[in-house]
Amino acid sequence: MSGTATRLHTPEAHGSWSERSLAELGLDEAKLNEAISWASNNETDFGPDIPTELANDPINDHPDNDIVGPTKARAGVNGVVVKDGYIAAQWGDYQRVDMTFSVAKSYLSTMAGLAFDRGMLPDLDAPVVELVPDEVFESERNRKITWRMLLQQTSEWEGVLWGKRDLADRRKGRDRLLHEPGTFWEYNDVRVNLLAYALLKLWREPLPRILRREIMDPIGASPTWEWHGYSTSWTTVDGLQMQSVSGGGHWGGGVWASSLDHARFGQLFTAGGSWDGKQIISEAWLDAMIEPCEHNQSYGFMWWVNQNQELFPSAPPTSYFAVGKGSNIVWIDPDLGLTSVVRWIDRDAYDGFCARLLAAL
For residue range 44-96, list pLDDT tens digits in order.
999 999 988 988 877 777 788 899 999 999 999 999 999 999 999 999 999 99
Q: What's this model's pTM, rounded to 2 decimal places?
A: 0.96
β-bridge partners, 282: none
CB burial of residue 177 (10 Å; 0-12, 13-18, 19+): exposed
Using CA of residue 25, residue 216, residue 107, residue 232, what is the dihedral sign? Answer: negative
**Does any domain span residue 208?**
no
109: helix, coil or strand? Answer: helix
Q: Does any domain span residue 232?
A: no
- Please check whether residue 210 lies inside any domain of the structure: no
With respect to residue 311, please indicate whether it lies within any of the assigned structural domains: yes
Q: Examine residue 8 and state whether it is found in any structural domain, yes or no.
A: yes
pLDDT computed for residue 4 by the predictor: 47
| Alpha-carbon torsion, ordered 281, 283, 285, 286, to 10 deg | 90
* Residue of 279, 273, 219, 281 whose CA lies nearest to 16: 219
Q: Give the pLDDT confidence of 191-220 residue by residue, as tens digits.
A: 999 999 999 999 999 999 999 999 999 999
Starting at the edge strand found earlier in the chain, the sheet holding 254-257 runs: 98-99, 254-257, 226-237, 240-245
- Residue 89's alpha-carbon distances to 7, 77, 85, 123, 154, in angstroms, are 20, 14, 12, 41, 38
Average model confidence (pLDDT) for the chain? Answer: 95
**72 located within any domain:** yes
* Rg of the chain, C-alpha, whole Å: 19
**Which amino acid belongs to residue 357?**
L
Q: How far is Cα 133 from Cα 296, in angstroms, rounded to an integer?
A: 29
Domain that holds residue 324: 3-101+256-360
pLDDT higher than threshold 60 for residue 2? no
Q: What is the DSSP string of 150-202?
A: HHHT-----SEETTEEGGGG-TT-TTPPPPPTTS-----SHHHHHHHHHHHHH
> Per the structure, how many domains does the chain have?
1
- Residue-level pLDDT at 134: 98
CA–CA distances in Å: residue 138 to residues 25, 127, 141, 237: 54, 11, 8, 18
In a domain, 60, yes or no: yes
In a domain, 306, yes or no: yes
pLDDT category at 6 given cuts 50, 70, 90 is very low
In DSSP terms, which residues pair with 324 in a beta bridge? 328
Please say if the pLDDT value at position 1 is more than 50: no
Lowest mean pLDDT among 58-67, 289-298, 327-336, 342-351: 58-67
What share of the chain has pLDDT > 90, as a percent? Answer: 89
Average pLDDT score over residue span 160-170: 95
- Structure confidence by residue, pLDDT tens digits, 127-138: 999 999 999 999
* Structure confidence at residue 15 (pLDDT): 63
Q: Which of 272, 257, 260 is nearest to 324 (CA)?
A: 257
Work out the widest C-alpha separation in the chain, in whole angstroms.
61
